[in-house]
Structure 1
Amino acid sequence: MPSSMPAPSIRIPIELLTQSSFSQFGTVIENPAHSEAPPSQRLPPPASVSANQGTALKYIDVTHMVNLYSLAPSKKPARAVMNIFVCSPRELRPHEPSESMPSSWGDIDLDDDEDNGERQLFDVKILERHPFTTQTFIPIGLSQTYDSTQYLVIVAPTLPASASRHKINRPPPFPTPGPRKRRSIRDIFARARPSPFTNEAAPPPSTYSRLHPSQRPKGPGLPDLKNVRAFIASGSQAVTYGAGTWHAPMVVLGERSIDFVVVQFANGVEIEDCQEVELVPERGADEGIAVSIEMDYRGGVRVKAGPGPVKAKL
């Protein structure tokens, strides 16, 4: 059983999945020419070159696989693995009016009566993370125009380790680094000498400082449940979770299953490959964290938060 932590009563509105809105948590992989992002959220496209004897356009370096298992306590090396997840549509519960407010979008009324769309709720009961590896989900066999089946990407920032310990009164479920050995004055000055094998007086930057912030180690903290976010993705989008990013297991919405090719590193040590936290509603609360889902007459999910027109249809 996973460790557990109390969850506040919060309803989360749905945002459109774009690289700009998701950059804190990882990477969105899509053809820039087909992006649904509003102009204010479009980033410069990746570098591209002609390929396949001029019949293809190759976008370069669209995501980064990161292997941080050198930081794992076991020091057991990892290898790149590729699996297929066949994800069935999730069961939703009927929408009920609630006084709970969305985490980051307190000015949005999720119970308004302007539209006649079907409203339902998805309860977020578990969050997981892969502390030493990125994880890329690539949907296959799902057309961009098939909007009656989509998937949710639910993520949360990471709390500082001190705040995590206070919340559950025990160490967080993450291997914490050992105490740093205090260096002597002699060691400090010895390291400050220029290397005889290079002209550089300063040491090169660490591997991790060169990574995008979303790909760097997140630390041992628990998820920040007051800032959970939910994004809706189409069949033309893949997503890479940054190493250590808290996220819900994949949530498929609609009529059919989605097959995902999942690429990550793994070393076979269970606690180092995947860590889970069960979310239990706070004492006296009727519900915990729930994503508010509103469908239009075609079965597509309406966007309720973020830049651009509210309730824009996918």
Structure 2
Amino acid sequence: MTPLPIELSIRPLTAQSFAPFGDVIEADPSTMRLINGGTTERFHGLFSPETAGEGARVIVNIFRGKPRAFPYEIGMMERHPFGSQSFSPLSGRQFLVAVSPDENGKPGAPQVFLAAPHQGVNYRRNTWHHPLMAIGEVSDFLVVDRDGPGNNLEEVFFETPFVIREPQI
């Protein structure tokens, strides 16, 4: 008998609630500096990409995500042992972020956040997270992550899946 999925709630994405997993990328007024003769506001040092391993380098990509259908079942989580990974929306749309605490080398119960169109996330190295979850329409994301030798992907599948109902956007 297949276990019934466990329903997850969706919370707003805030720097404080996401802190155990990484950084929220958004225009933080406390980091603002005026540059270019006062014509540009620079929001400085919002996150620091992490890379580990010989020959590793930071790269920038665009990912194009197809929207998820709801209810959506979270059956797995992944993590990257050699580098952080950030996602910043380019299409001006909200997206979902699912992360799990580490429980003895395996992902625990997921937490789900609704990211606003002006927010991105940086998953710290070794943070369990679900792959990109675009909602509503096909969406582009600027992704900063690690390139280089070594297997930088670990996946774990849950025995009992978790389910997300359609977010209220």
Residue 82 of structure 1 aligns with an amino acid whose one-letter code is V
Q: Any conservation in 1 of the 2:58–2:146 contact (CA below 8 Å)?
A: yes
**In the alignment, structure 1 residue 232 sits paired with structure 2 residue 119:** no
The match for 1:290 is 163
* Matched ranges for 1:66-105 at <5 A: 66-69=50-53, 76-92=54-70
Residue 121 of structure 2 aligns with an amino acid whose one-letter code is V
Post-superposition offset of 1:66: 1.3
Q: Which one has the bigger helix percentage?
A: 1
**In the alignment, structure 1 residue 135 sits paired with structure 2 residue 85:** yes
Post-superposition offset of 1:8: 7.8
How much is the aligned-residue C-alpha RMSD, in angstroms? 1.9
The match for 1:215 is none
Match of 1:257 among 122, 125, 138: 138
Post-superposition offset of 1:158: 0.5
Q: Which one has the bigger strand percentage?
A: 2
Residue 77 of structure 2 aligns with an amino acid whose one-letter code is L
Distance 1:8 1:61, change over 3 A: farther
The match for 1:222 is 106
Paired residue secondary structure (1:65): coil
Cα distance in 1 for residues equivalent to 2:24 and 2:101: 17
Post-superposition offset of 1:266: 2.1
Structure with higher Rg: it is 1
Cα distance in 2 for residues equivalent to 1:265 and 1:7: 36
The match for 1:174 is none
Residue 231 of structure 1 aligns with an amino acid whose one-letter code is F
| TM-score normalised per structure 2 | 0.90
The match for 1:280 is 159
Post-superposition offset of 1:58: 1.4
Q: Any conservation in 2 of the 1:7–1:279 contact (CA below 8 Å)?
A: no
Post-superposition offset of 1:138: 1.5
Distance 1:291 1:130, change over 3 A: same
The match for 1:22 is 18
Cα distance in 1 for residues equivalent to 2:101 and 2:108: 5
Paired residue secondary structure (2:46): coil
Cα distance in 1 for residues equivalent to 2:80 and 2:97: 15
| TM-score normalised per structure 1 | 0.50
Post-superposition offset of 1:250: 0.9
Match of 2:102 among 153, 158, 164: 158
**In the alignment, structure 1 residue 122 sits paired with structure 2 residue 72:** yes
Q: Any conservation in 2 of the 1:153–1:251 contact (CA below 8 Å)?
A: yes
Paired residue secondary structure (1:20): helix
Report the more deviating stretch, 128-137 or 60-69. Answer: 60-69
Paired residue secondary structure (2:166): strand
Question: Any unmatched runs of 5+ in structure 2?
Answer: none
Q: Any conservation in 1 of the 2:91–2:141 contact (CA below 8 Å)?
A: no
Distance 1:140 1:278, change over 3 A: same
Post-superposition offset of 1:294: 4.3
Residue 267 of structure 1 aligns with an amino acid whose one-letter code is G
Distance 1:238 1:7, change over 3 A: farther
Q: How many residues align?
A: 168
Cα distance in 2 for residues equivalent to 1:46 and 1:67: 26
**In the alignment, structure 1 residue 56 sits paired with structure 2 residue 40:** yes
Distance 1:229 1:57, change over 3 A: same
Distance 1:27 1:7, change over 3 A: farther
Q: Any conservation in 1 of the 2:55–2:149 contact (CA below 8 Å)?
A: no
Q: Any conservation in 1 of the 2:5–2:73 contact (CA below 8 Å)?
A: no
The match for 1:204 is none
Once superposed, which parts of structure 1, at least 4 consecutive aligned residues long, lie more than 6 Å away? none
Paired residue secondary structure (1:264): strand
